[in-house]
Structures are given as C-alpha cells and as structure tokens.
Structure 1
C-alpha cells in the first residue's frame, strides 16, 4: 500500500464514495482524509475507506492538533493518527499552523502571534509531533481573520521561521495566501517568495466566499477563482510542478464530473511548470 504520492488529488468525501466506486477519473492520482473523521470507525465506513486505500495513495491532513495552542499537545490523537496511517499505508501527515483548543476544542483555526517566542513554542510542539509520528510533517499556512497584537515579523516570515526551526516540511495553501492577502492588504507573490518553497511537500487549492462587505472567507465551498489559479502557477514556477496538489471542496459539493474539471486544471498547470526535485 506504500505508493508514491504525486500528481493531482481530491479530498475524500462520503458524498463522493458511490460515484467514485463506479469510476475514479484517471486524472485523480490520490485522495486526502482527515484522521479525526475516519480513524477508529468500523462498519461500512471502514470498508469504504479500505476499498480506496488499497487502490490509491492517501494523504492524512489533520484538523485539530492545535500546534500553536497553550494546552499540552494531544499525544493520544497523534498515536491514534499514527496507527491509522500505518493501517492504510499513508506516508504524509500535514496540519495547520494555528491553534484551536485550550481546555476544550474551539472548532475554529485561530492565528498564532507572529513573535519569536511563538516560533520557538510552536516549533517545539511540531518536533514533539514528529517524534511521535516518526516522520517529518507538513505545516500549512492558515487563513486568518484577525491579526494578533505584538507582531515582530510578517505572517510569511513567521511561517518560514517555524518551518526552519522545527525542521519540518511546508504544506502550501495558495487559496489561504490569496484570502489573507485580500483581507489584510499585502502582496500574495511577496508572501509566496518569503516562504521556504524548497521544503514544500504538499499543496492545497480551494474556493472561497466573498461577504457583502468584501471580506473573503475560506469556505472550500465554491469553485477556485482565476487569481488563485494564477498564484498556483506562480508557485509551481518557483518550486516545480511535481508537488502533489489537492483540490479541497467540503461544502456545496457539485458532481464528481464538475470536481474533475478542477482537478484537471491542477494537472494542466503542473504539466506547464518545470520539474524540480525539492531539497527537504
């Protein structure tokens, strides 16, 4: 089950299982799952997942590890995730550079202050997670809607500092860069160029929602817009087109055929970009 991860992929949703069982489009090279939603399940859900993990590579993308949070790291979740990944032959785990819990889960991904103290705190917790999982993990730049006070560096500089201090990998989300650039008024390409793109192990692309007042919300519930496609191509031109890239679509799910059109767009942009081997 240890298949190489490459190409263009799609988030694995229960609503898509039946059409995918009928036929998986050739352009879909892999799938992504959240361990919180699948680990430990039995019955039909477990059988359905096994049906696909025996045939396709899967990425494990966490939602609730709260790497920047104040509470002790959830080592029980990490051990559960490790067993889940081993059972299904998954070779890559990624998580958000954010926090989402203290005494209980807050069910939102909150921004971490961009300070040197937070760099060291978060990197220490990432190292702990890597020690438990026995692998380097990818850390995703998150969408944010408030800027914590006391910033000592830009958001992009903070992401880069954490990745380097933790000696982990980068999970690049181009839609999150675009959303934040519009909401906070910075240049998305400058942000992209600040990141250690040579460490990129995985990419997300998604759609978002625009509020009546112009605020962008990272919903994963709409089609990818042209500026995000352009930013994805710019990322490929800097790091190469051979980084596995997943289309996220969590709400307002269209048909599998419509999703496949966007996965095909990922594959087309990958084919246009140079092939470069990352130095992790």
Structure 2
C-alpha cells in the first residue's frame, strides 16, 4: 500500500517508521526538473521507497496532439527513478492549454478509437505499458454505451492496463445509477494492475463528490475487499490531496488496506489448498 508524495507531507514521510507504507506515488509533471530542497527530498525518498507515477496533464482523450516533448521527459524521469508503473486518467484536461480539471469523454465508438490510438502512441514514446484510471464524472457528453463497456473497449483496443479507482467507481455508481459490484465483475482481471482508494463528500443520498479530502468510507472499503477477491492483491494507493489529518490517521487508513490485503491473501491460500 502507498501514499501520495505531497509536499505538505514531506516531513512526515521522511520520518515515517519503517514498514508504514510500501511505495510513494507522485505526478511526474509536479517533480520533473525540480531542484533545491524539494528535489533533494525527492531523491532521498526515492532511495528508500519505490516510486509510482500518476499523471495529471497528458489529456489522453483530448483533441490536441499529444505533447511528445513532455512524454519524452516523463520517460527520462521514469527511467531515472526506475518507476515500474505510469498511469493516467481516462479523460481529457484541455485543448490548446490546460483546463486544470479532468473532463469526461463521450462513451462512443469514435471516442474509443480516438483515445485508444493516443494511448498506443503514448506507450510507443514511453517504451512501456500505460495504465488508465477510471475517473469520476458528473455529466456525460454522450453515452452510446455504458461506462463499463467503454472502459473495456478502450483497454482492448489500446492494449493497455487499468488502474482501478475504487472510490471513483462507487461515486459514479451512485451518481449514475448502476451496480458497482457488477462493474467490478465485468472488468478483465488481467488488465487490473493497481488500485486507488480515497474519501468523498456525501452531497446527498444520490450525489457523491470525489474530493480526496476525507477519510475512506466503509462502503469503499467493502468494494476494495471485493476487488481483491476478483483481481488479487494489487498495489493500492491511499489518495489524500488536502485537508490532511494528523499523519497517524493516514497510517491508520493504510493499516486498513494492509488488513484487507492480508485477509485476501489468506482467503486465496485457503482456496488454493481447497
């Protein structure tokens, strides 16, 4: 299980007890070319923990050409720090410039072909597989298919992997009225290579807002446990981007992930020895 490498957490991450977490995740665009004290802190943490990278600005579904110069910088960063996983959002975030938000794609065959071609191009430049993340969304521009069918079509057409965000899945299931367990059961297990969990805001019984600024809800823990049953124990990130609690509380949530992983491995062992 891992934590996001946020600058507000640098001191706590540096002094965390051994074994408190397994890896750190960062957005490469926030750290490429950073020197000084923050650059030194990154290098020191990278010597102690494996890094995972989760991008924010590639705009895989956008209309503008991919930023190949940025992709080459990302590849150098991944190579430098021996990063095993680079993921991005199955969305877009701008055209001629960044909108600083993750916008939903239309669930259409045309969008499948468009985003899959861009994922393949990105993988060629990166020299490695890319994992795409299912995103939370609140209005769909067009839906000729449901989110599960769209996601599976992109994964197959692009031949890429999936970073399963369990909180996003739950938020979307409430906001758009589908069964989250059925969504999980419909995903191809061989594509799921990592997971995210986070907190959300209950605007109402029928509207949930993905915030990354609150503790993980019990229903999301339950979905994570089910995801481990279906896909095995995958590297799992606890996302927290603001409203940080005392670090001990974050470690407590990490321990919840650890307990679910231990339970899933034990259940897998019992099934194997049937």
How many angstroms apart in 2 are the aligned matches of 1:129 and 1:107?
Answer: 20
Partner of 2:213: 221
- Match of residue 149, structure 2, among 132, 136, 157: 157
Partner of 1:50: 43
How far does the alpha carbon of each residue in 1:3-47 deviate from its partner, in whole angstroms, 9 at most, with x for none?
xxxxx1111111211122223452300010001111111111110
1:269 aligns with 2:256: no
How many angstroms apart in 2 are the aligned matches of 1:30 and 1:161?
Answer: 30
CA contact (8 A) 1:175 1:205 kept: yes
How far does the alpha carbon of each residue in 1:175-217 deviate from its partner, in whole angstroms, 9 at most, with x for none?
0000001111111111111221221111000001122585211
- Match of residue 168, structure 1, among 147, 153, 160: 160
1:209 aligns with 2:210: no
Q: 1:145 to 1:156 in 2, by over 3 A?
A: same
Q: 1:213 to 1:269 in 2, by over 3 A?
A: closer
- Match of residue 14, structure 2, among 17, 21, 27: 21
Q: CA deviation at 1:82?
A: 0.9
How many angstroms apart in 2 are the aligned matches of 1:61 and 1:199?
Answer: 17
CA contact (8 A) 1:53 1:89 kept: no
Secondary structure in 1 aligned to 2:53? strand
Point out which structure has higher relative CO (alpha carbons under 8 A, 6+ apart).
1
How many angstroms apart in 2 are the aligned matches of 1:117 and 1:25?
Answer: 48
Runs of 5+ unmatched residues, structure 2: 270-274
Partner of 2:237: 246
TM-score by structure 2 length?
0.94
Secondary structure in 2 aligned to 1:54? helix
Residues 22-31 or 115-124, more deviating = 22-31
Choose between structure 1 and 2: higher helix proportion: 2
- Match of residue 68, structure 2, among 75, 81, 104: 75
Partner of 1:91: 84
Secondary structure in 2 aligned to 1:273? helix
How many angstroms apart in 2 are the aligned matches of 1:77 and 1:44?
Answer: 24
Partner of 2:229: 237
Q: How does 1:111-126 map to 2 (within 5 A)?
A: 111-126=104-119
The number of residue pairs the alignment matches comes to: 267
Partner of 1:179: 171
Secondary structure in 1 aligned to 2:48? coil
1:260 aligns with 2:254: no
CA contact (8 A) 1:204 1:247 kept: yes
